[in-house]
Structure 1
Amino acid sequence: MSPLLLLSFALQIACCVHVVRTGRPLYWVFILLVFSFIAVIVYFIAEILPDLRHNPSARRTVRNVRNRIDPERDRRDAAKLLKAADTPENRRRLAEESLRSGDYTHAAELYEQALKGLYATDPDLMLGLAKAQFGMGDAHKARDTLDALITANPGFRSADGHLLYARAVEDTADAAAAIHEYEAVVQGYPGEEARARFGLLLKRHGDQARARAVFQEILDRSDAAPRYYRREQQDWIAVAKRELATLQD
């Protein structure tokens, strides 16, 4: 059997399985089996593509692929929007894209420019500025910005912001305060990064037993988690496995 026929057969079967699993009309099975490649293309356009457009995970995958091909596209688009209309929203968008691309200096400048007037204490802008400052290697400034954020917005909650604060406190050589912050942030952080960083901090400061318990908790949680979670957290799970092995030597 030729490779082309094998590919056609595989795509037809995959689409038929999709029809059954997603509850599509069963006449699609007949169409797919009879009309081969043409039916697969029509089915993809009619049934699968609309779902991809409205699926957050699919959109994120498409965005990641696009960013690998052209990592500066979103940043260029944001710069064009800001040039056309210098609004707080456009400035925030360009700041976020600069932050994402690793241009922390430019991101910090944009956030500082945006933090004026009605937006002088905007929590999202202040958090973005703290991220940029931390990315630039200035943990003290990042900590000060986050302290100011909480003072101005006592009701603001952000898991990423809390983790950033713990890291900033850690990098300012305040180990006791950092441990306290990590103890709080790991309670509700949606992922294993906070636990992994907490374990690393405990290990560096000689609390081997507690570090071992934190790393073991990561592995226990990941073993009980769905496959997609283990895939998303694989880097931090790998850290836990590596560090746990060294602690058990």
Structure 2
Amino acid sequence: MPFLGIGLHILVAIFFAIHAVRSRQQMYWLLILFSFPLLGSVVYFFAVFLPNSRLEHGARKAVASAAKALDPTRELRAAREAFDFTPTAQNQMRLAAALLEAGQAQEASNVYEACLQGAFANDLDIRLGAARAKLASGQGADAIAHLDFIRRSDRNFRPEQASVLLAQAYAAAGRNEEARGEFESAVERFGSFEARAEYAIWAANMGERQLADRLRNELQSTMNHWNKHTHSMNLPLVRRLEAAFAKL
């Protein structure tokens, strides 16, 4: 039995080592994983694997949606109060995120730009938030600049989200062939419902009926297997999809 336990630890460490290599993590993770198979695997799971997994993303999305439905302005009120009381960089970042989620994109954009001054100029989470805010406020070119910065810094930083956002930013800036290429890349690399849905919305808005219909059929095939909870969690995106096709 002890032999089996040691073997299992090593197998888990090998699994995470393969993930580290494929996702181009820092090579010191290999040293940690093979020097301390059990502890290293636990640390890698929570520090790298889980934050980048769809499971963790879905859980965060579900919790956030439930909280927002109960009190839509609670987080924004709390973020403003926290920043007014203690105007730290962390509270400023929280306020920017809350403004964006509340639909106040221009103010969120201004706060994100303030966050990027000084010590946090290279923070990729802030850059991603700033890109989202710029896109939501109709500033596609500025969103592209932030997303290009992220890719130059770390191509493996939230790659699916960054790819879809970049495609949308290209579209907002009128660079439609680049938008098409980035959407196709996102669908090919990740194959997620979100990537396909955003591509379908773009195709419908561009009047590309054949492409839009093909993507909608693929999406419908996926939705046919959803349970009630999954459908509820994706309802805002589905409604945007339906609105885009209603105009086609």
TM-score (norm 2): 0.64
- Counterpart Cα distance in 2 of 1:245 and 1:110: 35
Q: Which residue of 1 aligns with 2:97?
A: 96
Residue 178 of structure 2 aligns with which residue? 177
Confirm whether residue 122 of structure 1 aligns to residue 123 of structure 2: yes
Q: Report the Cα distance in structure 1 between the residues aligned to 2:174 and 2:193, rounded to whole angstroms.
A: 23
Q: Is residue 205–residue 244 contact of structure 2 (8 Å, CA) maintained in 1?
A: no
> How has the CA–CA distance of structure 1 residues 193 and 75 changed in structure 2, closer, same or farther, with 3 Å as cutoff?
same
- Residues 146-186 of structure 1 show CA distances to partners (whole Å, capped at 9, x for unaligned) of 11222233331243332111111012222211111111222
Which has the greater radius of gyration? Answer: 1
Matching residue of 2:38: none
SS in 1 for 2:167: helix
2:224 match: secondary structure:
helix
**What is the CA deviation profile of residues 180-207 of structure 1, one whole-angstrom value per residue up to 9, with x for unaligned ones?**
1111222465853432331243345564
The percent of aligned pairs where both chains have the same amino acid is 24
Q: Any conservation in 1 of the 2:62–2:233 contact (CA below 8 Å)?
A: no
Pick 1 or 2: higher relative contact order, CA cutoff 8 A, min separation 6.
2
User: Does structure 1 residue 66 correspond to structure 2 residue 38?
Assistant: no
1:178 to 1:123, Cα distance in 2 relative to 1, 3 A: same
Letter of the structure 1 residue corresponding to residue 199 of structure 2: F
User: How much is the aligned-residue C-alpha RMSD, in angstroms?
Assistant: 3.1
Gaps of 5+ in 1: 1-54
1:132 matched residue in structure 2: 133
Residue 190 and residue 94 in structure 1: after superposition, are their counterparts in 2 closer, same or farther (change >3 A)? farther
Contact 1:192 1:233 in 2 (8 A): no
Which stretch shows the higher mean deviation, 210-219 or 110-119? 110-119
Q: Gaps (5+ residues) in structure 2? A: 1-58
Q: Distance in 1 between matches of 2:141 and 2:89?
A: 26
How far off is 1:124 after superposition? 0.6
Q: Tell me, what secondary structure is at the counterpart of 1:154?
A: coil
| Contact in 2 for aligned 1:192/1:236 (Cα 8 Å) | no
Secondary structure at the counterpart of residue 87 of structure 2: coil
Aligned partner of 1:82 in structure 2 is 83
Amino acid at match of 1:198: Y
Which whole-Å CA distance do the structure 2 matches of 1:57 and 1:105 have between them?
23
C-alpha distance in 1 between matches for 2:62 and 2:99: 24
SS for the counterpart of 1:121 is: coil
Letter in 2 for 1:173: G
- Distance in 2 between the 1:133 and 1:242 partners? 23
TM-score, normalized by length of structure 1? 0.64
Shift of 1:215: 0.8
Superposed counterparts of 1:192-203, under 5 Å? 192-203=193-204
Give the CA deviation at 1:214.
0.9
Instruction: Report the counterpart of residue 229 of structure 2 in structure 1.
Output: 228
TM-aligned CA deviation for residue 134 of structure 1: 1.2
Q: Secondary structure at the match of 1:98?
A: helix
Partner residue of 1:212? 213
Between the aligned partners of 2:112 and 2:96, the Cα distance in structure 1 is 6
Once residues 204 and 75 of structure 2 are traced to their aligned partners in structure 1, the CA distance between those partners, rounded to angstroms, is 40
Aligned length: 190
Distance (whole Å) between structure 1 residues aligned to residue 246 and residue 98 of structure 2? 38
SS at 1:224 equivalent: coil
